[in-house]
Amino acid sequence: MPATRILLAAAAATALLLTACGGGSDEDPIPSDKPGVLTVSQATVSGLNGIYGDGTINLTDVERKNPIGPTPELCSFKFDGAKKVGSGAEAFGDLRYESGGNALYVIYLTFDGKEYTSDETTDTAVRRDLDQIFLNGKILRASDDSGATVKVSAVIPMRGNRPAGC
């Protein structure tokens, strides 16, 4: 039975590691009853302009993470299911804001398979009282260094059962 003990020890170590890093929060967004809408304009990539979000969108729970190093304690969640009106395209994203903060720390949005990001807090608002994130003409740049940009205005919901500070 030593092999069984080794397997049990490995499983316990893995569980401890996942707990230490925040629980392995790579969960997939699940359906919510919350509507969200993103409007893309002035996209440098053809075909991205338009309205994404024709109903409710899928959300993960908001989780608090305290990374090692100079990065502050962050609250983060993901969404998907924001379908482009009149198209099969879909937007999804990963949003992160400081615990207790009122603006996004970093945002990653994907449109038509291309990721766009910004780590500037301007043109963003975290409204915990409304369970929403607002973007007001936020310029995002392609993360692949292609120089592509999009301008996004959005109301993105977040789940109400958040950790303290989030």
pLDDT of residue 88: 86
In-domain check, residue 14:
no
More confident residue, 4 or 87: 87
For residue range 45-61, what is the model confidence (pLDDT) as tens digits?
989 999 999 889 999 99
CATH assignment at residue 54: 2.40.128
In-domain check, residue 9:
no
Domain count for the chain, please give it: 1
Measured distance CA(45)–CA(58) in Å, rounded: 25
Q: Is the pTM of this model over 0.85?
A: no
pLDDT grade for 67, boundaries at 50, 70 and 90: confident
pLDDT of residue 9: 37
List the one residue out of 40, 35, 63, 65 whose CA is nearest residue 50.
Answer: 40
In-domain check, residue 108:
yes
In-domain check, residue 164:
no
Tell me the backbone φ, ψ of residue 42, rounded to 5 degrees.
Answer: 50, 35
In-domain check, residue 4:
no
In-domain check, residue 17:
no
What residues contact 121, with CB distance under 8 A and at least 6 apart? Answer: 103, 104, 105
Show the domain range for 52. Answer: 31-157
In-domain check, residue 11:
no
